[in-house]
Amino acid sequence: MRRLYHQPLSPFCRKIRLVLGEKKIEVELVEEKPWEKRMDYLRQNPSGKVPMLKIDDLTLAESPAIFEYLEEVYPDPPLLPKGAAERAEARRLASWFDDKFHHEVTVNLLYERVNKRLARSGHPESARIKEGARNIKYHLDYIGWLMEGRRWLAGDQLSIADFSAAAQLSSLDYIGDVDWSRNQSLKDWYAKVKSRPAFRSVLADLLPGFQPPSHYADLDF
Amino acid sequence: MRRLYHQPLSPFCRKIRLVLGEKKIEVELVEEKPWEKRMDYLRQNPSGKVPMLKIDDLTLAESPAIFEYLEEVYPDPPLLPKGAAERAEARRLASWFDDKFHHEVTVNLLYERVNKRLARSGHPESARIKEGARNIKYHLDYIGWLMEGRRWLAGDQLSIADFSAAAQLSSLDYIGDVDWSRNQSLKDWYAKVKSRPAFRSVLADLLPGFQPPSHYADLDF
C-alpha cells in the first residue's frame, strides 16, 4: 500500500501531492504531526519532517529526493523538461521556492500563525509576520515578471517549478496571506496551476480551527 | 571561460567545488560578496546567493540544480548511484545537510560568527551559537551511526551526500566548531572525504581575519 505521511498545510507535502496527482499515482494519506516526535515515525525518518512516502517497498524522505525518485520511476507525464539547460532552470526555481521563499516568507507567516498554534509552541511574533509580509511582495513580483515571457514558470511546459511555487503559495493563501491583486500575470499563472485536477484534493483539505478565505478553493478567484 | 562565483566559507560553494574537482572540470573562481547586493550579479542571479556557475554558455544557480546539471552533462565519475532507490538515499542525505543541518547548525554557528562580521550586520547572538553547538551533536552522531554500516554516507560509493555533508562540516571546522573526538566512525569518514584530491583547493582557501585551527587542513587530524 502506498502511503504519504503529511500535514495538510505543509507546502512540501502539497508539492509531493501535486506531483503524485499529476502522475496519477494513488496514495493513502496519513496525517503525521511532526511536533509530536513519534518514535515510530522518527525510526523510519530520522529527520522527523513531513512528507514521507512509502512506495515500492521503500521509505522515501526529503521532498526534492522524493520528487526525483517519482520522476525517474514514474516518468509520465514528465515534470522536468527534456534539455539539461531547461531542467536546470526548472530545478533552480524549485529550489528558489523550497528554500529562499520558504525561509523568507512561509516560515515567517505560516509557521508563526499556524504551526506555533498547532504545536502549542508560543505566540506569533509580529516582527516576523511583518518581515514575511514585506518579503512576499518581491517574490510575487518575480513570478509575475517570469510569467510575462513564459507559458509556465520554468518555460514552455508545466514542471516541478510550478508545483513548488504553487504549493508554498496555496498554503499561505489558506490563511489569506497572498495579495493576488498585486500582479495580473501572477494571478493568471496561479489560476492555471490551480485548475490542474491534481490540485483538487489539496484545496479540499480543511484544518480544524482555521477557516480559509472564500476565494481559496475557487478556480475563478 | 567557466567561472564559479563563490564565497570561501559558503558550504554550498564548497559542495559545488568538490563536485567540479571530482569530475575534473576546471573553473576560474571569482569571489562574490552576496551582502554587497551588486546589481550586475543580481541581474544574472536574482536570488543573490552564491554559488553561481557559468558553464556551456549558461548561467546556473541554486546548488542542487547546479549539481544535477553537472551530473547529467558531465557524468564521469558519477556522484549518484545507479539504482533509483540508492539515488533517492543519496539525495535524501544531500537535502538533510543542505537544509536541516544548514538551518539547525551552520546558520547558528558560521553565520553568527563569520557572516555577520563580514557583512557588518551586527554581533553574534550567544543564544544562537548555543543552539547551533547543541544541535551539531546529534548530526555528528547520525553520521557516525550511518557510517557504522556503510562505506560512504549513502551506501557503497562516494556520492553527493558525502560532499554535501563534508562541505557544511569543513566550513564549521574552519572556525573550530566540530568536535571530531565525539565519534570515531565520523572522524574516519571525514578523513576519507578530506583526502580526495578535490578537497585540496577548498582547504587551501584562507579568509582574512579568521585563522583556522592547526588540524584544519591536516589529512591526519
| Any B CB within 8 A of A13 CB | no
| Any A CB within 8 A of B50 CB | no
Amino acid at A103: H
E strand residue ranges, chain B = 3-6, 28-31, 52-55, 58-61
Contact A92/B58, CB-based, under 8 Å?
A: no
8 Å CB contact between B173 and B212: yes
| Any A CB within 8 A of B96 CB | yes
Mean pLDDT within A205-216: 93
| Any B CB within 8 A of A62 CB | yes
* Burial environment of residue A176 by CB neighbours within 10 A (0 to 12, 13 to 18, 19 or more): middle
Angstrom distances, CA of residue B41 to CA of A154, B36, B50, B111: 20, 10, 10, 21
- Grid-cell match 521509505, residue found: A59
Structure ipTM: 0.97
Contact B65/A88, CB-based, under 8 Å?
A: yes
Strands A28-31 and A3-6: parallel
| Per-position pLDDT tens, chain B of length 221 | 899 999 999 999 999 999 999 999 999 999 999 999 999 999 999 999 999 999 999 999 999 999 999 999 999 999 999 999 999 999 999 999 999 999 999 999 999 999 999 999 999 999 999 999 999 999 999 999 999 999 999 999 999 999 999 999 999 999 999 999 999 999 999 999 999 999 999 999 999 999 999 999 998 88
**Phi, psi angles (nearest 5°) of residue B2:** -80, 135
Strands A3-6 and A52-55: antiparallel
> Closest to A68 (Cβ–Cβ): which among B46, B91, B96?
B91
- Residue extents of the structural domains in chain A: 84-196
Q: Which DSSP symbol is given to B149?
A: S
Structure confidence at residue B216 (pLDDT): 96
Structure confidence at residue A11 (pLDDT): 98
Average pLDDT over chain A, rounded to an integer: 97
Residues 135-154 of B with CB under 8 A from A: 142
Tell me the chain A residues in contact with residue B73 when contact means C-beta distances shorter than 8 Å: 84
The grid coordinates of residue A150 equal 513564459
Structure confidence at residue B163 (pLDDT): 98
> For the domain bounded by B84-196, which CATH number is listed?
1.20.1050.10
Structure confidence at residue A81 (pLDDT): 98
| Any A CB within 8 A of B91 CB | yes
pLDDT at A221 over 90: no
* Whole-number Å distance between alpha carbons of B26 and B17: 10
Contact A68/B87, CB-based, under 8 Å?
A: yes
Distance between alpha carbon B118 and the CA centroid of its chain, in Å?
19
* Whole-number Å distance between alpha carbons of B14 and A39: 34
DSSP assignment of B164-182 equals HHHHHHHHHHHTT---GGG
Structure confidence at residue B160 (pLDDT): 98
| Any A CB within 8 A of B68 CB | yes
User: B89 CA to chain A: closest CA distance, Å?
Assistant: 8
User: B84 CA to chain A: closest CA distance, Å?
Assistant: 6
User: Among candidates B202, B170, B178, which has minimal Cα distance to B18?
Assistant: B202
* Burial environment of residue A216 by CB neighbours within 10 A (0 to 12, 13 to 18, 19 or more): middle
